[in-house]
């Protein structure tokens, strides 16, 4: 993905991992309208180009992953412009949520407001020990509008989510780990490396299998168990006729590393 973006740094890693870095460190990587449009384009191109096997999303510097929406920009918007901008934000969040590839957040610093919502829409997240998290919208006269009331409750449970959202209380990386917001806490300066290590591991596995497994988990959680298990079998059966399934079996029997091609 060679294109340069105004608010993002996008790097193709040699392991078929796409690294996308929110690059507005002067404003704690807060997303303005252009940043949302840039993220929309990146995630739309991921599915169109079908060149990658995993995505890592992080922020520039060590101060912040993303502070949410750029409130300085928003202070100049009319009510109509605010609503129009939010529609762009909604599209951005939806594209991250619906990405068929695994998306991992490397939370290198503060993730507040829409920044935390972005983390919660990723498939999982690793965080720096110095990271802080909060959904502070009710302190600003609004409420979470990027899925936060839904994704946080699914991650930490209804009562904990109500506490965190209704009090606008920040919480630590250790609390985020204990409550299921992040999967791992890393030492300072190590979070991106450890996240990329996980992404590289995913990228080395059968890409069609990874996609089908991700989709089955995501879609099955919203169904009753019998119908979710039928969904799983449907996803499983899509893989039986693939070249990668045959390659995986041959490699196992020949005691070698498989060479998956996504076919």
Q: How far does the chain reach from its first CA to its final CA, in angstroms? A: 21
Strand (E) or helix (H) holding 239 = helix 225-240
Q: How far is CA 142 from CA 16, 130, 151, in A?
A: 39, 27, 17
Check residue 100 and give its pLDDT.
94
Q: Residue 80 forms beta bridges with which residues? A: none
Q: Pseudo-torsion of CA 37, 211, 112, 174, nearest 10°? A: -160
CATH code at 8-203: 3.90.226.10
Query: Of 95, 59, 55, 46, nearest to 203 (Cα)?
Result: 55
CA distance 125 to 79: 34
User: Which tens digits make up the pLDDT trace of 216-247?
Assistant: 999 999 899 999 999 999 999 999 999 999 98
CA distance 155 to 173: 14
User: Which tens digits make up the pLDDT trace of 139-178?
Assistant: 999 999 999 999 999 999 999 999 999 999 999 999 999 9
Residue 176 contacts residue 131 (beta carbons within 8 Å) = yes
Q: What is the mean pLDDT of the chain?
A: 94
Active site residues: 117, 137
Say if 8-203 and 207-254 have the same CATH topology.
no
Given the candidates 3.40.50.2300, 1.10.12.10, 1.20.210.10, 3.30.2350.10, the CATH classification of the domain at 207-254 is 1.10.12.10
pLDDT over 70 (residue 1):
no
Q: Choose the most confident range, by mean pLDDT, from 12-16, 78-82, 111-115.
A: 111-115
Check residue 50 and give its pLDDT.
82
Check residue 47 and give its pLDDT.
82
Domain boundaries, given as residue ranges, for the chain? 8-203, 207-254
pLDDT over 70 (residue 77):
yes
Maximum CA extent, the chain: 65
**The dihedral sign for the CA sequence 70, 35, 133, 141:** positive
């Amino acid at each position: 993905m060679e294109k340069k973006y105004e608010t993002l740094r996008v790097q193709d890693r040699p392991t078929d991992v796409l690294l996308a870095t929110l690059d507005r460190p002067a404003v704690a990587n807060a997303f303005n309208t252009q940043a949302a449009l840039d993220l929309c384009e990146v995630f739309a191109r991921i599915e169109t180009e079908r060149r990658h096997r995993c995505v890592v999303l992080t922020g520039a510097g060590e101060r912040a992953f993303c502070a949410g929406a750029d409130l300085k920009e928003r202070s100049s918007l009319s009510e109509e412009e605010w609503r129009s901008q939010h529609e762009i934000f909604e599209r951005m969040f939806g594209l991250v949520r619906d990405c068929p590839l695994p998306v991992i957040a490397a939370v290198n610093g503060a993730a507040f407001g829409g920044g935390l919502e972005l983390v919660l829409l990723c498939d999982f997240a690793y965080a720096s020990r110095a990271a802080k998290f909060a959904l502070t919208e009710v302190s600003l006269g609004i409420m979470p509008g990027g899925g936060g009331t839904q994704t946080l409750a699914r991650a930490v449970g209804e009562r904990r989510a109500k506490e965190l959202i209704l009090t606008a209380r920040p919480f630590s990386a250790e609390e985020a780990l204990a409550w299921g917001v992040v999967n791992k806490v890393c030492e300072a300066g190590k979070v991106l490396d450890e996240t990329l290590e996980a992404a590289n591991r995913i990228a080395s596995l059968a890409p069609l299998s990874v996609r089908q497994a991700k989709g089955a988990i995501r879609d099955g959680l919203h169904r009753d168990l019998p119908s979710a298990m039928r969904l799983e079998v449907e996803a499983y059966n899509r893989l039986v006729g693939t070249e990668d399934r045959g390659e995986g079996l041959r490699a196992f029997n020949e005691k070698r590393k498989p060479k998956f091609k996504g076919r």
